[in-house]
Amino acid sequence: MLNFYMPVKVLSGEESVKRNAAALTALGKSCLIVTGKTAARKTGALDDVTSVLNEAQIKWTLFDEIGQNPELSACMRAGKAAQSFGAEFIIGIGGGSALDAAKATAVFAANPDMDEAEFYSAKWAHTPLPIALVGTTSGTGSEVTNVAVLTDSKRRKHSIHVNSMYAALAFGDAKYTASLPQSVTLSTGIDVIAHCTESFFSKKANEISRAFSVRGIRLMLPALTAAARGEALSITQREAMYEASILGGLAISVTGTVFPHNVGYYLTESYGIPHGFACAYFLPELLEHVAGTSLAEQFYDGIGCDEAMLKALVEAVLPDRAIEMTEAEIAAALPRWENNGSVKNTVGDVTAEDIGIMLTKKFVKGTLS
């Protein structure tokens, strides 16, 4: 099967925001900008967006309370702020956290009295407001997915997939990634590798999604390898990384992710590991799970490197961080992976018990270097 649906209009390249102001005017006459406290300002993206809005005489107000692993409660507040302002559309500026929060904000702006349970039910009375997204990292590919990953009131990360959360517009200018700290460049870059690899080994994958995955990894590998060595990246390398991020987003828009992502959520919640690094911790286990299959052979032929080389890159990118777990802690966590969609989506079948064995080998009475 070659099923594919992606309704986002992507406008990329140098000064893509300034060159495409007319696309924003089509969305409405007023908007709420959703972002974090600093990144959108440091990258220059916020200035570019607000100058375009001012020139187009589009009214705007700012909600800059989004942090890493965005909380659903913040999105609820943003939605009420949008409604009070009379916003006709939402603009998200930032990495995956801000972009995912913008999607949820668009839902709450149209449904301001909705509670958490209603949000996750995806049975919304009103369609979300139109969304425009401006990415400032080369990582999540959230610009082109219908996914939002949010932290609920119990401090658990959940993903929600709804087609009405696709953005109307996505702007991609790699210059915004130039000011990122190396740790963010590495974490978001390895997240792209995770997206592409997991998508390739998804039960929902098809020839289109696998083409996105392979091309994304081939684009990402040289630049991420250079970044892992501490080299300064050129704008050409950063453009390759951004394109790879979009390709990874396109891939998972078809397939979703598989078990490393969901197990990575647990590391983020319990140990504060940044999302991209958290997902990468379990990429070696995924590669071992599929080792020796014809699908794995197809994968390595496509990306132009072998299992050992890909594992070496993961090891080079991951920061030194000691994690120790007890068998009791692991046993208590296992129910979260029973009947989990990402776990069940993995080719070759993975169970919660399998994940328990992986966690035990990695983290009981030891550390991961």
* pTM more than 0.85: yes
pLDDT in tens, 41-61: 999 999 999 999 999 999 999
Is the pLDDT assigned to residue 158 strictly greater than 90?
Answer: no
Confirm if 56 and 76 have CB atoms less than 8 A apart.
Answer: no
Percent over 90 (pLDDT), the chain: 92
Nearest to 173 by CA among 346, 23, 44: 44
Percent over 70 (pLDDT), the chain: 99
Lowest-pLDDT choice from 152-166, 210-224, 226-240: 152-166
